[in-house]
Amino acid sequence: MSDIFISFVHEEDAVAIQVQRLLRKHLQGKNVFMSADQWQVYAGEVWFDRIRAELSSARVVLLLLSSRSVLRPWVNFEAGAAWLAGKVVIPVCFGGLTKAALPKPYSEFQALDLPSEAYYLVSSIAHHLSMLPPPPFFTENEETEQIAIAILRSRKEENE
């Protein structure tokens, strides 16, 4: 079962995959579940039950919020379920949406912007999982560059 649950829309899976890679690298041993990833819900499973079980076991829920996803019912549904269950909810903004422009109720949570606050994301999750944070990594490294590339691709696809 998951420690960290990533809620996102499938059109932005490239960003979610890069965030998952970042977390797996720096928070080793923690299970990171991506809600819209077909490879994490196996054929034959009742997907809604699997999502519920992973969300129930997670201690931290990341909401990957862009100008597209913030309007999507499924992300809002998972966010509401996490909030009602008393989970730590972290809005992660990208793709034309910044933490300064988050609509309510998301703006009530301490949020962050990707890729510039990637280390803040990792260290915040480590805190909520009662772990020591990893050593700081600088903003412009290969990991954050991959996140930035995924964000740019996502925005390009949205505009096409």
- Prediction pTM value: 0.89
Specify if 156 maps to a domain. no
Specify if 123 maps to a domain. yes
DSSP state of 1: -
Distance CA 79, CA 62 (A): 9
Specify if 66 maps to a domain. yes
Q: Which of 28, 30, 33, 18 is nearest to 118 (CA)?
A: 18
How many residues does this entry show for the chain? Answer: 160
Specify if 147 maps to a domain. no
**Per-residue pLDDT in tens (0 to 9) along the chain, 160 residues:** 899 999 999 899 999 999 999 999 999 889 999 987 767 788 898 888 999 999 999 999 999 999 999 988 999 999 999 999 999 999 999 998 999 999 999 999 999 999 989 999 999 999 999 999 888 875 557 777 778 788 887 766 766 6
Specify if 159 maps to a domain. no
Specify if 94 maps to a domain. yes
Q: What CATH number is associated with residue 86?
A: 3.40.50.10140
Contact (Cβ atoms closer than 8 angstroms) between residue 90 and residue 110: yes
Q: Which of 103, 130, 104, 114 is nearest to 29 (CA)?
A: 130
Percent helix, percent strand, percent coil in the chain, to nearest 5 = 50, 15, 40
Torsion sign (Cα): 36, 41, 43, 44: negative
What's residue 138's pLDDT?
Answer: 58
* Structure-token pair, residue 81: 């379920």
Q: Which of 12, 23, 22 is nearest to 143 (CA)?
A: 22
Q: Which of 132, 133, 92 is nearest to 113 (CA)?
A: 92
What's residue 108's pLDDT?
Answer: 95
Specify if 149 maps to a domain. no
Distance CA 28, CA 90 (A): 19
Instruction: Count up the domains in the chain and report the number.
Output: 1
Compute the C-alpha angle 118/119/124, nearest 5°: 105
24 membership: H or E segment, kind and range = helix 13-26
Specify if 151 maps to a domain. no
Range of the domain at 76: 4-141
Distance CA 25, CA 102 (A): 28
